């Protein structure tokens, strides 16, 4: 049976503000590094730099939608991306 390709992404939260409805952090996977801002009040995710952004954007959005209220500043988290970078 063929296994689906997977990549482990590592996430670190720098700042969380419920009053501004924002979450800032960084995510890395397979040698790529991005900084992100998750505006959970508006449902908007921005990721910089643009290089490789398409690889992580959907998986990061799904992870944040599922876990954003459980994430804490200074916390390190991991999630699986069903693709090989």
82 within domain boundaries: no
pLDDT at 1 over 80: no
Residue 75 per-residue DSSP state: -
Within a domain: residue 8? no
pLDDT digits (tens, 9 = 90+) for 22-71: 999 999 999 999 999 999 989 999 999 999 899 899 999 999 999 878 89
Long-range contacts, stretch 49-57, CB < 8 angstroms, 24+ apart: 52/85, 55/29, 55/81, 55/83, 55/85, 56/9, 56/27, 56/29, 56/32, 56/81
With respect to residue 2, please indicate whether it lies within any of the assigned structural domains: no
pLDDT greater than 90 at residue 82: no
What pLDDT, on a 0 to 100 scale, did the predictor assign at position 19? 93
Tally of domains in the chain: 1
Residue 2 pLDDT exceeds 80: no
**Domain enclosing residue 66, as ranges:** 13-74
Q: Is residue 61 part of a domain?
A: yes
Which pLDDT band holds residue 16 (cuts at 50, 70, 90)? very high
């Amino acid at each position: 049976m063929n296994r689906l390709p997977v990549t482990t992404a590592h996430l670190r939260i720098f700042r969380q503000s419920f009053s501004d409805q924002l979450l800032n952090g960084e995510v890395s996977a397979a040698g790529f590094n991005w900084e992100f801002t998750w505006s959970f009040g508006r449902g908007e995710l921005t990721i910089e730099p643009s290089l490789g952004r398409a690889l992580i954007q959907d998986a990061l959005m799904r992870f944040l939608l599922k876990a954003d209220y459980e994430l804490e500043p200074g916390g390190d988290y991991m999630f699986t991306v069903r693709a090989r970078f």
